[in-house]
A and B are shown apart, each in its own frame.
Chain A
């Protein structure tokens, strides 16, 4: 029997008639009015009104602090993310990450309710720590907060101390914590706060002899392929390393017929010994600001952020790592570079002077601006919901560094509804963004290349790197083939429907 699901079913005549009949009760606007307003939203006038908006975000590209914090915590072996606050938040963090990675994700809430709002969350914290330890046997409980706990002012440090004094959890169980109010910053801030909290707790008293080893901090990076890629590159270079908050197995683990609560993560002892590495390299800047500052000041370690998205950025990162470790960049990587550049040369006619819009986290955008300009494309609309002034300045300087950046404008603190106005009034050829930008694709017809977070509606993209030379090749392939797909769609009824391109 032929089964018709929602994709086909509701196109049937019987349903079309149902929808038409239902309007009798809907009090709909006349079709002409709807069209008039739809057309109006495409105008410069609407864009102006839209950009005057100060008090509401419409389709913002950012999440809240504790999401970043639980993501970070889940990158340490045996660590259970533990969230002091209302329970719905944790249900949301878990489902959000589940949907992107298509992987399980464990995190705990202290289920605070009205009584905690009045009396504080101490009892929730104590019972929560006791239960979590008994049930899930964590090597570490990494505590962060929801906005509820922050508004009522829960004292995490004192609560954790009490839990240990009452022997609800072992005294030697590491319980790092971070305050992660969702009304400050975004998910990248929460990542930073949690990482700093974890590192400062587990490295306390571990300072010893320096080791010939690098720390790598991926940042709020939701491409598991990226972590595998940096490890591969460092292995080729022969550089010993510790990835801090190694989420690569947590969110991309092999199916062995067994569910593991703690499928991976940076081994605890290695993480604790990171204080003795020779230097720390973060692959993102704006999600690691406080952590790098802490590493420099408290560990006395060299700490740099080098985002290896695109050719030049990857060159710079490898050169810096080479300078720090004294290990040369091997021929294998040089060959890879050559192959990717060869591919870019081959594809350049389809990308040259193409106009790009992009939206995402600050570090991703900086990488994308750079890579697009390397291909000869023009970043035109750069929209960031969660950037700061430093990001804005850095993005502007980057655009100014190339003639291909001349038409680029950075819109910081803006959202996808702003971008919609931009795309209507100043159209571009390609849009780079997460799954929610598909609504922009639908409204404006701008071809979309899915890069960023979250990616809910396409499978497995997060398993492929977008960093390093390999990542550049993956992005190039995605971008150029989107251009070619679009070209096919647009030339279907003409002689230009070429088979060789």
Chain B
């Protein structure tokens, strides 16, 4: 074990000291010093297991994964938060999955539609009400191309049969009605919700549509939720390469794009965590290969463009080089402008999905170093992909608690932290520059050549805002 790893491990051990015995033993397995080679067995973090009760985990639930992440952005589907009012209320247009359309008429993305369970629904069951709700919605929103029923906790506990209701009403309406069993108590985090949502895509929509004309250049963008327009910026690059993007899942997507995607030649997956399941299925069932890519920051974008082009003929490969050549000078000029202000700055990340590893390259393009990174709901395969991206002895944390994040901040002294809304304002109080890396802090896009300048500008304003300097620090006790 190297000195770097040993020193970091010692620091981690100190932080763990405060926990009660059982929780300490458990949490210690989730926080490790990085070994980029992946060969140090004791450096592998444990992941995708239950959070300890009472520790203030940042994690959400299966409903958040299924409704908030995967199904919510499908724009021409009416998405019902089925159960009490809260879950839909708190996830109402909070992820900024941009889309084009006339909301309330042919698209429904910014709406909060709920069966608003009352006590009688708990006692007598909610199926009858759901059936009636579906009819009311069909009448009010005749242009909806589908209806999604996203279950909240009580639905699964009281034994409702939403599948039967869906089946019956779907036949009557002749549009897909998708029952999604994503009750919040299922699984250990958002992650199971992604999986459940993928399974329902497979069972209810995928393969049911027909693409009139196919080409050898047909691809799907999978796992891009178009936050702040990310998927649009990525799509632009792919189209410039000469590829034809058939489906965009699920940011700005339509039910039809989900139904016809099986006719594409290649799946390009950005957020591996939330949609790898459907890629594996499409590979098995339709023989469609998939390739992971990373459109954060020029280094990774160039690499990804070439990697994607390698799957196609010379025309695409030549186009790829042209696209890179077209944007390289702009990217170089941008880095020249921003790098001097950001060089050597240390970053701590604690996010979800793909960002804890995918954004590292973009920070490095700006001369910054990610000294700690972690996932809210990652699995082993995410961590395996992360170790080589980070330096030896960096902190890797899984399902970190508020307490741990504060302690690591105190000890590692990052120049900025990238995490979520629940963390944001504690860092503001600490006077540590902070950027939300789930919602891009209402900015974006961050993907692609159009996104990187926004990323660079935002990181610069985060680290270099004069407001941090106004804070008059009380002597800490």
A interface residues with partner B (beta carbon < 8 Å)? 1, 3-6, 9-10, 14-15, 18-19, 21-22, 25-29, 33-34, 37-38, 41, 46, 49-50, 52-60, 62-64, 66-67, 82, 85-89, 91-96, 98-99, 101-114, 116-117, 123-125, 127-132, 134-136, 146-148, 151-152, 181-184, 186, 253, 255-260, 417, 420, 436, 439, 443
Contacts and interface: CB of A to CB of B under 8 A. Distances in A.
A110 B54 contact: yes
The 5 tightest CB contacts between A and B, nearest first, are: A88-B61, A64-B86, A128-B54, A128-B53, A131-B54
A147 B102 contact: no
Interface stretch (B183-191, B282-290, B341-349): B183-191
A184 B118 contact: yes
B105 A3 contact: no
A109 B57 contact: yes
Contact of B425 (A34, A52, A104): A104
Interface stretch (B35-43, B133-141, B297-305): B133-141
Nearest to B456: A3
B114 A60 contact: yes
Contacts of B153: 85-86, 146-148, 151
Contacts of B185: 86, 112-114, 116-117, 148
A56 to B, nearest CB: 4
A183 B121 CA distance: 8
A135 B53 CA distance: 12
Contacts of B211: 25
B428 interface: yes
B453 A64 contact: no
B421 interface: yes
A93 B184 CA distance: 14
Interface string B57-75: 1111111100000000000
A50 B424 CA distance: 40
9 contacts: A5-B445, A6-B98, A6-B445, A18-B232, A25-B246, A59-B112, A95-B90, A98-B422, A127-B22
A59 B113 CA distance: 6
A82 B209 CA distance: 48
Contacts of A26: 76, 254, 256-257
Interface string B66-104: 000000000010001001111101111110001010111
Given A1-B333, A15-B236, A27-B256, A184 B184 contact: no
B158 A56 contact: no
Nearest to B457: A3
Contacts of A130: 20, 54
Contact of B143 (A25, A29, A92, A257): A29
B224 interface: no
A88 B121 contact: no
Contact of B80 (A5, A56, A99, A151): A56
A9 B53 contact: no
B90 A111 contact: no
Given A10-B232, A99-B94, A183-B117, A55 B431 contact: no
A150 to B, nearest CB: 8
A257 B473 contact: yes
Interface of B: 18-20, 22-23, 50-64, 76, 80, 83-87, 89-94, 98, 100, 102-106, 110-119, 121-122, 129-130, 132-133, 136-137, 139-140, 142-143, 145, 152-154, 156-158, 184-188, 190, 209, 211, 228-229, 232-233, 235-236, 239, 245-248, 252, 254-257, 260, 333-334, 337, 401-403, 406, 420-422, 424-431, 443-445, 450, 453-454, 456-457, 471-474, 476
B424 A98 contact: yes
Contacts of A148: 153-154, 157, 184-185
A170 B452 CA distance: 53
Contacts of A259: 406, 426-427, 429-430
A104 B426 contact: yes
A135 B422 contact: no
Contacts of B333: 1
Nearest to A15: B232
A81 to B, nearest CB: 11
B184 A89 contact: yes
B422 A131 contact: no
Given A95-B90, A95-B421, A135-B18, A257 B443 contact: no
A105 B402 CA distance: 11
Given A64-B86, A148-B154, A151-B153, A256 B54 contact: no
Contacts of B18: 134-135
Nearest to B152: A147
B118 A64 contact: no
B430 A9 contact: no
Given A106-B56, A132-B54, A58 B111 contact: yes
Nearest to A56: B133
A18 B19 contact: no
A1 B337 contact: yes
Contacts of A52: 136
A109 B86 contact: no
Given A109-B57, A255-B429, A182 B228 contact: no
A63 B90 contact: yes
A78 B254 CA distance: 48
A85 to B, nearest CB: 8
Taking each of B83, B153, B333, B445, which has the highest tally of chain A beta carbons within 10 Å of its own beta carbon? B153
A110 to B, nearest CB: 4
Taking each of A10, A87, A436, which has the highest tally of chain B beta carbons within 10 Å of its own beta carbon? A87
Taking each of A101, A111, A129, which has the highest tally of chain B beta carbons within 10 Å of its own beta carbon? A111
Contact of B228 (A6, A25, A151): A6
Contacts of B23: 127, 131, 134
B296 to A, nearest CB: 16
Given A19-B100, A257-B474, A57 B50 contact: no
B406 A131 contact: no
A87 B453 contact: no
Taking each of B104, B229, B247, B254, which has the highest tally of chain A beta carbons within 10 Å of its own beta carbon? B104
Given A1-B333, A99-B421, A147 B154 contact: yes
Given A117-B185, A256-B472, 13 more contacts: A1-B334, A1-B453, A5-B444, A28-B106, A41-B105, A63-B89, A104-B425, A127-B53, A128-B53, A129-B54, A130-B20, A132-B54, A181-B119
A136 B55 CA distance: 9
Contacts of B252: 22
A117 B402 CA distance: 26
B61 A89 contact: yes
A130 B26 CA distance: 15
